[in-house]
Amino acid sequence: MSIVDQLLDGNYMPHGHCLKWQPDLLFLHVVGDALTVIAYALIPLAIVYLFHKRHDLAFDWLFIMFAAFIFLCGLTHFITIVNIWHGYYYLGGIAKLMTGIVSIMTAIMIWRLLPQAVAIPNDDDFRAQNEQLLQAQKELLEANELLELRVLERTKALEQLAHTDALTGILNRGGLMDSLTIEVERAVRYQHTLSLLMVDLDHFKYVNDKYGHPCGDSVLTEAVNIITKACRTTDVLGRYGGEEFLLLLPETDTDSARQLAERIRRDIEQHLFCQEDGLEVSLTCSIGVTEFQLDQTQASLLQSVDRMLYSAKDSGRNRVVVNDNMTS
């Protein structure tokens, strides 16, 4: 008898004899094994289908081996059903041997993969990591908001610095021109008066030459303080040139501007500069005054007040010249 004939020899005593062919025992064994065969056939198909669709899942070979193990278990149960009526015990033995081999291989793979499987985070680990990420995100958002606030503050500071005279702290020429543009547009829009004062410290170069530049810087700073104290909060003061200052007076006519100019002239004339340096420096100033006319441009307005200032200086200094060479 060949090996194939021996394997397919079903003349051994059927297993049904052990059950005495009792219907109830046959029902229990056949139905139980049949259901197991169906389940053991569907489970491997489901596993193979899953890994066919999901290539990103880890431990794929382990699951394939597990599917093979389940399939062989189902085959063993199927042969057990056949052997109730026939004696294919060689086939049953081979199926059990293959099941045992695959089972051992699957067990070995499981034990080798246990460290990796154990290292996979569980729900608590994921929850803790998620909380850490949320906290990190919150801290990052707070840091970003703080950074944006600092950038905004720094931008404002740089803008202010770009429009501020470093020595006196008032507007520089660029900032002054921006403010003048705004005030001229407002005066035109609302038909309001606007006057300008241009103040020049007389013989300021002499102060620098005789007392030095530190004393000259103190003179400029103290002069700004004197002018600022005489102004309203709505007035705009800026450094137009070296020792020249431009004062914007919104809603102020010529007479009011002249009165303010006279007050500034007297305050500077009566003030003793550089006393903190142990000196008593006397100084005067010349002031030009003009009132904005609706048909004027910003350039012509500056030319007008500049012309009044030089008229005051040409008339002997320490005086105020208003509009068309009217002096006081």
Active-site residue identified among 183, 243, 244, 291 = 243
Q: Does the annotation count 243 as an active-site position?
A: yes
Region at 143 (left for phi over 0; alpha for psi -120 to 50; beta for the rest): alpha
The 3 state secondary structure assigned to the chain is: CCHHHHHCCCECCCHHHCCCCCHHHHHHHHHHHHHHHHHHHHHHHHHHHHHHHCCCCCCHHHHHHHHHHHHHHHHHHHHHHHHHHCECHHHHHHHHHHHHHHHHHHHHHHHHHHHHHHHCCCHHHHHHHHHHHHHHHHHHHHHHHHHHHHHHHHHHHHHHHHCECCCCCCECHHHHHHHHHHHHHHHHHHCCCEEEEEEEECCHHHHHHHHCHHHHHHHHHHHHHHHHHHCCCCCEEEECCCCEEEEEEECCCHHHHHHHHHHHHHHHHHCEECHHHCCCEECCEEEEEEECCCCCCHHHHHHHHHHHHHHHHHCCCCCEEECCCEEC
Torsion of Cα atoms, 229 then 282 then 287 then 185, to 10°: -40
Burial of 150 (0-12, 13-18, 19+ CB in 10 A): exposed
Give which of 289, 207, 199 is closest to 239, Cα–Cα: 199
Catalytic residues, which ones? 243
